[in-house]
Structure 1
Amino acid sequence: MLSVFGLSIPISATELLLASTTFCLVFWMFRAWRPGVPKGLKSPPGPWGWPLLGHMLTLGKNPHLALSRLSQRYGDVLEIRIGCTPVLVLSGLDTIRQALVRQGDDFKGRPDLYSFTFISGGQSMTFNPDSGPVWAARRRLAQNALKSFSIASDPTSSSSCYLEEHVSKEAEVLISKFQELMARVGHFDPYRYVVVSVANVICAMCFGQRYDHDDQELLSIVNLSNEFGEVAASGNPADFLPILRYLPNSALSIFKDVNKKFYIFMQKMVKEHYKTFEKGHIRDITDSLIKHCQDKKLDKNANIQLSDEKIVSVVLDLFGAGFDTVTTAISWSLMYLVTSPGVQRKIQEELDTVVGRARQPQLSDRPQLPYLEAFILETFRHSSFVPFTIPHRPFQDLDLPQECSAQKKPA
């Protein structure tokens, strides 16, 4: 019998023990859910979150909008928790520039997330928590291969570089497709055709070939990329709540399946390149990586070896890097041009004056096209390609200017 405020409440010893244990567990959870802050440092401002879940319910289906609202209240540097994991959220141009540009080396790391192990078979440079010397060497190799087939020029072509040549050819096909569609009755969505053209340019640089717009293999790549974007954008709760890895999880299953299909496709393309590879005739980025791989195998003193498996992951990283961002940039540009006919008219007048209509614009025309360049730069500034960057893991404390870290008062 338990007496509370003079009232007798019938309760057994077992029930009392159970209630005490529950209270202790809840108290421990409240104490343990927020990690301790090192002595001498202050915890960034942020909202109250639930034990175990953190702010997962607060973020909802549109986390970028929820975080935008929170930044207006707590400032450009705030802390939330996803599950039990503390996450620092940076907003505002000055704050992000300080972290990712001025202190870029300190913030180039990646968190060791569970979902990252399924991208490129866990060998991806973009999603790899390792950023040591081997990672840096692989990145330089990828950059050199990309430079060889973008900035470098083909002596047999009138274009200034390989990239311009691929883009010019694909632009002709895309314009013809748009003219054909506009001649029909009704309307059409340009995104479907833009994304295929972008995929074709990347395929030309990585694999030395382009596809017809109705080619099923190309369309399957486009569909896989769209699926990856949709699943990745919603996040993977299993990254922060480990128990979800062992429970039925349709989103995680789709994520695994999409990455597996992407990897199998890239593996197939690299194997086909090995069959037709000629050391004296480097056709594309994949050939360039294969050549490096074979040269290093012959060099016993080589510090960095690139396995066949890593060639697949490097090509996959390069393929994915420009796919969605370039498509989104062109889509924003088309939308702004359609809704701003006056701007569209000025761009056309400038092109007619400088380039004319007998040939396509080239990169060499850029200095004489200031209005067009201003429009492109303003599109980059005004639009939003993705709501978040890929998560970063800092190596050192963030040295933010006072005005960036100052807490803002609620409106």
Structure 2
Amino acid sequence: MWVVLVLCVLVAFVYLDTRKPPGYPPGVVFTDGPLWREQRRFSLRQLRDLGLGRTAMEEQLRREAREMVARLRACSDTGEPVLMHDAFDASVLNALWALLAGRRFNLDDERLRGLLDSVHASFRVLDMSGGLLNQMPFLRWLAPERSGYSHLVRVLCRMWDFLGETVSEHRSSLSLDYSRDLIDSFLQEMERTKSQPNCTFTEEQLLSLCLDLFMAGSETTSNTLGFAALYMVLHPGVQARAQAELDAVVGRGDQPALHHRPRLCYVEAVLMEVQRHSGVVPVAVAHRALKTTELMGHTIPEGTTLLVSLHSIHMDRDHWGDPEIFRPERFISADNELVQDDWFMPFGLGKRRCLGEALARTSLFVFFTTLLHNFTLSQPPGLPPPSTQGYDGVTISPRPFAALLTPRN
């Protein structure tokens, strides 16, 4: 019996070892120290140079939003309900891919659908704590399929191969004089630093960095927008008030833009409440204690992995009073000003705050306001109302639901 067991473990080890993404390095999400500081600083600088937080980035997002509206309008013209839980996926990913790789996909591109399926699958296999595999890592050898390990490896290998092909294409047309996107900038930095000892700019690090940004940046934003559409179906009064504010500030003949944002107080409050109530990111990215310390009477040894429950913060009854209720007014003051609550932290806090926060906030605003400015979302007759209980995983994703989209003249 023991001989058979050992042989099974060896076979599983050999099989899985051939399926692992080669050399999968740290990237920027699950690392710290000098490598993290250098890579994060480089990424932020390059993304800003490429238009993050500037007019060029906003225009890219507005173009994607217009194309999304055109696609949804074509679907709604049939009079049939439209699936909304993943309606934003392709547009959000395209905006991110333009920064990383300098191009976008057609919305009917089969490769795009395959990438989206891979991203969704990878986020549902585990949670931020690592799930069952993190608690009992030996299961990857004893039960690779049932534990989800083989599935995760297959998904990551597909993503790794796709990113590798993209980097190879960039290298074949690389110019050292100008940069088209983040991949170009990284390859140029590789050339400049290749003779330096302990250089962190390697091709494997580039692939891992792209994987981090590509997966985390697209999944969290598209899931939040999916929940935003869901809440508008469930709360038509909130939707009507947000649309009235858009009509008054933007006007019916224009598309919402960032310069309208300071006057769209209620719309901003709705987006904040969507992020708080849906809890798309229930647990912040893992931190590591750099030294032994005391916290609220507990000793935390050096090297301990720390997980912050954002869900517990956003659903704390002592602070919010009625956290289970979807109520955007909690972020509006008596003077009709937006309230910046210290307990609202969907992007985390401190040095490890989300790298893509600026892009995510802009994407949420542009796609959500453009959707509400063009359509009224309502519950299809004969169908049960959508559930606010999403699928578990690294992030929480909305369950499939449909809405009737009524064009606003």
- TM-score normalized with structure 2 length: 0.62
1:269 is aligned, of 166, 178, 184, to 166
- Secondary structure at the counterpart of residue 287 of structure 2: coil
Q: For 1:236 and 1:344, how far apart are their aligned partners in 2?
A: 37
Partner of 1:313: 208
Partner of 1:111: none
- Secondary structure at the counterpart of residue 193 of structure 1: coil
1:252 alignment partner AA: Y
Taking a change above 3 Å as real, the CA distance of residues 324 and 148 of structure 1, as seen in their structure-2 partners, is same
Checking the alignment, whether the CA contact within 8 Å between 1:134 and 1:304 is kept in structure 2 is no
Q: For 1:243 and 1:301, how far apart are their aligned partners in 2?
A: 39
1:149 pairs with 2:50: yes
1:196 pairs with 2:90: yes
Residue 148 of structure 1 and its aligned partner are, at CA, apart by: 2.3
- Secondary structure at the counterpart of residue 289 of structure 1: helix
2:121 alignment partner AA: E
Partner of 1:214: 108
- Secondary structure at the counterpart of residue 122 of structure 1: coil
Checking the alignment, whether the CA contact within 8 Å between 1:137 and 1:304 is kept in structure 2 is no
Q: For 2:280 and 2:293, how far apart are their aligned partners in 1?
A: 26
Partner of 2:177: 280
Equivalences for 1:177-256 in 2 at 5 Å?
177-233=71-127, 235-250=130-145, 251-256=148-153
Q: Which moved more, 1:281-290 or 1:211-220?
A: 281-290
Checking the alignment, whether the CA contact within 8 Å between 2:85 and 2:227 is kept in structure 1 is no
Higher relative contact order (CA 8 A, sep 6+): 2
Taking a change above 3 Å as real, the CA distance of residues 197 and 398 of structure 1, as seen in their structure-2 partners, is farther
Taking a change above 3 Å as real, the CA distance of residues 366 and 127 of structure 1, as seen in their structure-2 partners, is closer
Q: For 1:400 and 1:248, how far apart are their aligned partners in 2?
A: 38
Partner of 2:225: 330
Q: For 2:37 and 2:81, how far apart are their aligned partners in 1?
A: 48
1:145 alignment partner AA: Q
1:167 pairs with 2:48: no
Partner of 1:361: 256
Taking a change above 3 Å as real, the CA distance of residues 252 and 368 of structure 1, as seen in their structure-2 partners, is same
Q: Which moved more, 1:180-189 or 1:391-400?
A: 391-400
2:126 alignment partner AA: A
Partner of 1:30: none
Cα RMSD (Å): 2.8
Checking the alignment, whether the CA contact within 8 Å between 1:333 and 1:379 is kept in structure 2 is yes
Gaps of 5+ in 1: 1-113, 154-159, 404-411
Equivalences for 1:21-100 in 2 at 5 Å?
none
2:24 is aligned, of 122, 129, 151, to 122
Q: For 1:248 and 1:280, how far apart are their aligned partners in 2?
A: 51
CA deviation profile, 1:87-135 (whole Å, cap 9, x unmatched): xxxxxxxxxxxxxxxxxxxxxxxxxxx99x957842132454x522123
- TM-score normalized with structure 1 length: 0.62
Residue 397 of structure 1 and its aligned partner are, at CA, apart by: 4.2
Partner of 1:81: none
Q: For 1:194 and 1:140, how far apart are their aligned partners in 2?
A: 29
Residue 395 of structure 1 and its aligned partner are, at CA, apart by: 2.6
Checking the alignment, whether the CA contact within 8 Å between 2:163 and 2:207 is kept in structure 1 is yes
Residue 359 of structure 1 and its aligned partner are, at CA, apart by: 2.4
Residue 260 of structure 1 and its aligned partner are, at CA, apart by: 0.9
CA deviation profile, 1:120-169 (whole Å, cap 9, x unmatched): 842132454x522123212211222222234354xxxxxx2x32122101
1:377 is aligned, of 272, 275, 297, to 272
Percent identity (aligned): 28
Q: For 1:285 and 1:301, how far apart are their aligned partners in 2?
A: 21
Q: For 2:20 and 2:37, how far apart are their aligned partners in 1?
A: 21
CA deviation profile, 1:220-271 (whole Å, cap 9, x unmatched): 1101011101212394534333432332321111111111111111111111
Taking a change above 3 Å as real, the CA distance of residues 301 and 245 of structure 1, as seen in their structure-2 partners, is closer
1:279 alignment partner AA: L
Partner of 2:310: none
Q: Which moved more, 1:243-252 or 1:390-399?
A: 390-399
Residue 383 of structure 1 and its aligned partner are, at CA, apart by: 1.8
Checking the alignment, whether the CA contact within 8 Å between 2:24 and 2:204 is kept in structure 1 is no
Taking a change above 3 Å as real, the CA distance of residues 400 and 352 of structure 1, as seen in their structure-2 partners, is same
CA deviation profile, 1:20-42 (whole Å, cap 9, x unmatched): xxxxxxxxxxxxxxxxxxxxxxx
Q: Which moved more, 1:351-360 or 1:259-268?
A: 351-360
Gaps of 5+ in 2: 1-15, 299-409
Partner of 2:331: none
Q: For 2:293 and 2:246, how far apart are their aligned partners in 1?
A: 46
Residue 301 of structure 1 and its aligned partner are, at CA, apart by: 5.9
